[in-house]
Amino acid sequence: MSANEARYKGFSHVPVELGPEFIHGEKENLLLDYLNKHGVAGKPNATTMQLKWPNYFYFGKEGKLVSGKDSEGDKELTRMLDTFEMTGEMDADLIPDESLLQYMARMGTSSRLIDMADAIFANDYGNEASKIGLKEVVHEQDSWKYGEDYLVLDGCSFSDIVNDMAKGLDVRTSWKAKEVLHSGPCGRCRVVRDNGDSIQADRIIITVPLNILRDGDILFKPPLPADKVQAAAVVQQSNCVKVILRLKEVFWPADCWDVVCSDSLIPEIWLTPAAQVLKGIPMKEYYMVGFVAGERATRLAALPADELARKMCLQLDAIFGSAQNPTPCSKACTGFLVQDWSKEPLAKGAYSHPSLGAYGKRDALRYDSRSCDSRSFWPVYQASFDASASAFPQGIPIMVGLFCLYVRSPVTLVHTSASPSASSTLPGRPHKRVSTPASMAVLTPASMPSLPLERADAAGHACAQLDD
């Protein structure tokens, strides 16, 4: 058992996600459509629960917890939320390349609500508001048509879905690619593993995280097109840290599953698995997740893990405590786990966020399903780095985007992944966040007919010799 596996072993008796948990958007959602149509093998009761977000607000400087419904009377809060919503009406080409923080302040957001905006929007996007690029926010808000609700799984975990989808595929894990060669006009692609093994194919789809690409962890021969390299440098993949507390009793209101917290150590906390908790099914233990993103995450992760967990308990005591029971969380906590995504060598952080200076450049990372499906164009690399950030029409780094890539691309026959498992769910499958089972999809002639060589010539790429 690896040190990482030992770290997670026995922590929870239900699946707890170290990575993504929420399906964003209830409309035209391919992942939901897939689940509704296919279900999940071996999980006859698998379904989703649709939740309004934000659920509760906590104002740290006021020591006040307010439900979503009760918050409607808070005019300042409503104004701040409206100010953010206005970004959906703006034209990204006509606004300055400023940060979300600059925009919120310019629009007169009160000091009281500035950090709430940070906790709700910036932390969710993946960094502090001063690091979130407004132009990309506007572009995303403008094109988002999938609804605002959060959906959580009920009756299954993401591992169950991923494992079900992987059935019948040749999935190779612990397969770390160090080189990708393409023979240009001469023929095929080759992916070389760190131990020298290799796989050849007509086409490959590459979906490694942006920071893997940025750091040159994989050598491309011939080199990647310059616009992809530039985009990987300017679109930021930030960090995320999850602090998960194990609790032996309930101390929150029955309708509470999530709290966004201003002026607090951790900007957002939620209960997991939320569906189980909200249904009021008594559980042996409960799990409260603290989610912190971006540079703030890296600063917090510098604290010793037990100190971070202790401080999160103090925050929850402040939120949910009372004169009769001032320390409900500290008393209920029986264990904790800290997951710092920057420490995962094959992830090097969490997900990409709307970045300053990146507007218009992200498109270079976009996966173009037409070019993959079409027989009339033969791109050298079907590269889709940070797949979900580029596959989804508006470039949002979420699981649904990743899923779009997979359902829209031709049948993939061989998947490789450097990670030992494709799941982040605990227990049993530690040390991975949810994704499709692969970061490299190798397309064979059966799924992708060969294309005319002259098209490859037209792309003007040099020919890296493959020796067979």
State which residue, 205 or 380, has the beta carbon closest to ligand FAD: 205
Which residue's entry shows tokens 């498992």?
421
- For residue 64, the minimal CB distance to ligand FAD (Å) is 27
C-beta closer to ligand FAD: residue 273 or 397:
397
Are the C-beta atoms of 92 and 142 separated by less than 8 Å?
Answer: yes
Instruction: Provide the residue type at 244 as one letter.
Output: I
Distances in Å between the Cα of 13 and the Cα atoms of 40, 250, 272, 353, 425 are 21, 16, 12, 33, 11
Minimal distance, residue 161 CB to ligand FAD, in Å: 13
Decide if 187 contacts 227 (C-beta within 8 A).
Answer: no
Could you tell me which residues come within 8 angstroms of residue 203 by beta carbon, excluding any fewer than 6 positions away?
A: 189, 372, 382, 442, 443, 448
Contact, 29 vs 231, CB < 8 A?
no
Q: Which is nearer to ligand FAD, 128 or 386 (CB)?
A: 386
Measured from the CB atom, the residue of 59 and 291 that comes closer to ligand FAD is 291
* Angle between helix 30-38 and 399-408 (nearest 10): 70
**Applying CB under 6 A, which residues contact ligand FAD?**
19-22, 24, 176-177, 207-209, 212, 217-218, 240, 242, 341, 346-347, 350-351, 386-388, 397-400, 402, 416-419, 433, 435, 439-440
Q: Is 349 left (phi over 0), alpha (psi -120 to 50) or beta?
A: left
* CA–CA separation, 332 and 86 (whole Å): 42
Q: Which CB, 146 or 286, lies closer to ligand FAD?
A: 146
Query: Which residues, including other chains, have CB under 8 Å from residue 236's CB and lie 6 or more apart?
Result: 127, 131, 352, 353, 355, 358
CB of 18 to ligand FAD, least distance (A): 7
What's the min distance (Å) between Cβ of 11 and ligand FAD? Answer: 16
Nearest distance from residue 156's CB to ligand FAD, in Å?
Answer: 16
Q: How far is the CB of 176 from ligand FAD (least distance, A)?
A: 5
Of the pair 125, 341, the CB lying nearest ligand FAD is at: 341
